[in-house]
Amino acid sequence: MGGAGRRRIAAAFVRAAFVRARLCVRVRLCARSSLCIPGAVATVSPQSSRAAHPGSRGKNTLALHTKLRTKQTAPETVGVAGSDGERPETETALLAVRDLRVRFTQGKRQVHAVNGISYDLRAGRSLAIIGESGSGKTVSCRAVMGLLPPSATVTGSVRLGGDELVGLSEKALSRYRGAGVAMVFQDPARSLNPTMRIGPQVAEAVRAHLPVSRKDARDRAVHLLQRVRVPAAARRYLDYPHQLSGGMRQRVMIAIALACDPKLLIADEATTGLDVTTQAQIMELLLELQSQTNMALILVSHDLGLAASYVDEVIVMYGGRAVEQASTSELFANVRMPYTQALLHAIPRLGRPAHEVLPVVEGRPPDLSHLPAGCAFAPRCDRADDTCRTTTPQLEDPTGGTHRFACWHPCDEPVAVG
Ligand SMILES: Nc1ncnc2c1ncn2[C@@H]1O[C@H](COP(=O)(O)OP(=O)(O)OP(=O)(O)O)[C@@H](O)[C@H]1O
Ligand code: SF4
Ligand SMILES: [Mg+2]
């Protein structure tokens, strides 16, 4: 073979290697996106969505949509489990979570990420799940969505519109995502596909769940971008994620999650990392969208102040457990759990003297693979005694009411908020 022939073969190898490398990058991006982006809710790449979520479009999804809509028009639904004593017990919750537990197995190590949380959430109501980093907030929500890796073992019950989701196959679960429940994931910068324009990412989410034409999906995507107040939505349809600010990217993520008008929206740290003005705008947007559609909203945050301002019910998580749970007004009128109190003290306040060291919750959260005996907060709690260190307090309201807390020596002095 002559020199020219060898050069042609070498060039062909280089081209093949280049194409393979590009494919690998795209596959990696897609794999990451389908993990981070509302999975079936809004898959990022044309390659991944329909292949990854077969059966997510068509009659099944529409039937579920209709079913959930019908349920929504049923009289009323109950609030966070046991937190609204005035409502009749016969009412049905849109979401009913009971004794939800998630354990990850990593070789011989077991991480007990969620250790038995229970709550009910009605259509049109909002719930905040609050806690420090690593307390199990995201994992508990991903368990509701059925979006956990194979190393996770999920037990307990998650009922959406009366249907049990725990134990369903991926194919069956995909019917509930999008129209039933959608999630805005932590970190919009990583959740959007950086190589794809934002409009097609929203349109892709629409087509992943609804049997519509490309044109109708595009029109709906523009409408969704308008709905989440992306300015000049039709023009910005063709922007890439890096051309948007953090707040705008978060709006796009919300548009993707709203693609199929979910009955339940889970917003995981939807405002973290944004300046306070943008935070407030995003929160106002979420609440406005919620009231327009009677959607139920779960807000995941480490910011107790955010919960105080915006939601109906609060669950405070620590070490994978709910340690205080009540309606927002009940909780803030009388904080009982020392951990909740410590979180409240850590909120920066305008009235504090300048240059004062900000209070923090001293110590470190527990290692979820080696949870201590008794109350997991004991190593950080100045009220802890031997009972705390040996016996786990149950989450309950000793008066039989609806403000439940897990503590042997609860606080009794009111805590100022704001
Ligand atoms: N895939 C996984 N395998 C093993 N452990 C995991 C996995 N995902 C989460 N965890 C562990 O579960 C625990 C709870 O994680 P989770 O992401 O729910 O915390 P979080 O409360 O959402 O924290 P943050 O505020 O930082 O988002 C952590 O200890 C985490 O390391
Ligand atoms: S049970 Fe004991 S250690 Fe735990 S929060 Fe209450 S007082 Fe503190
Ligand atoms: Mg999280």
Position 401 in a domain: no
- Where does the pLDDT of residue 308 fall: very low under 50, low under 70, confident under 90, or very high at 90 and above? confident
- Where does the pLDDT of residue 344 fall: very low under 50, low under 70, confident under 90, or very high at 90 and above? confident
- Please state the atom number of ligand 2 nearest to the C-alpha of residue 339: 5
Percent of the chain with pLDDT over 70: 76
The boundaries of the domain holding residue 267 are: 40-350
**pLDDT given at position 328:** 94
Digit-coded pLDDT (tens) for 201-213:
999 999 988 899 9
Sheet holding 95-106, edge to edge: 109-121, 95-106, 152-160, 163-164
Decide which of 153 and 247 is more confident.
Answer: 153
**pLDDT given at position 36:** 28
Position 250 in a domain: yes
- For 373, the token pair is 């005996």
Position 257 in a domain: yes
Neighbours of ion ligand 3 (CB under 5 A): 138
Query: Is the per-residue pLDDT at 51 higher than 70?
Result: no
Residue nearest ligand 1's atom 14 by CA: 136
Position 18 in a domain: no
Beta carbons of 381 and 339 less than 8 angstroms apart: yes
Q: Tell me how far apart the alpha carbons of residues 28 and 22 are, in angstroms, rounded to a whole number.
A: 10
**pLDDT given at position 414:** 58
Position 20 in a domain: no
- Where does the pLDDT of residue 13 fall: very low under 50, low under 70, confident under 90, or very high at 90 and above? very low
Ligand 2, CB cutoff 6 Å, lining residues: 338-339, 375, 377-378, 381, 383-384, 388, 393, 407-409
Helix (H, G, I), strand (E, B) or coil at 405: strand
Percent of the chain with pLDDT over 90: 55
**C-alpha torsion sign, points 97, 101, 104, 105:** negative
Amino acid (1-letter code) at residue 102: V
- For 99, the token pair is 């004794």
**pLDDT given at position 131:** 94
Q: Please name which ligand lies nearest the alpha carbon of 337.
A: 2
User: Which of the listed ranges 19-28, 118-127, 274-283 does the model predict with the highest average pLDDT?
Assistant: 118-127
Position 363 in a domain: no
- Please state the atom number of ligand 2 nearest to the C-alpha of residue 323: 5
Decide which of 42 and 409 is more confident.
Answer: 409
Decide which of 266 and 345 is more confident.
Answer: 266
**Mean model confidence pLDDT for the chain:** 79
Rounded to an integer, the average pLDDT of 123-133 is: 95
- For 209, the token pair is 């769940």
- For 123, the token pair is 């259509």
Domain count, the chain: 1
CA of 139 to the centre of ligand 3 (A): 7
Position 54 in a domain: yes
Digit-coded pLDDT (tens) for 68-115:
333 333 333 334 454 333 444 335 899 999 999 999 999 989 999 999
**Maximum distance among all alpha carbons in the chain?**
93
Q: Report the CATH number that the domain containing residue 251 is assigned in CATH.
A: 3.40.50.300
User: Which of the listed ranges 171-175, 257-261, 313-317 does the model predict with the highest average pLDDT?
Assistant: 313-317
Query: Is the per-residue pLDDT at 157 higher than 70?
Result: yes
Position 22 in a domain: no
Rounded to an integer, the average pLDDT of 368-394 is: 95
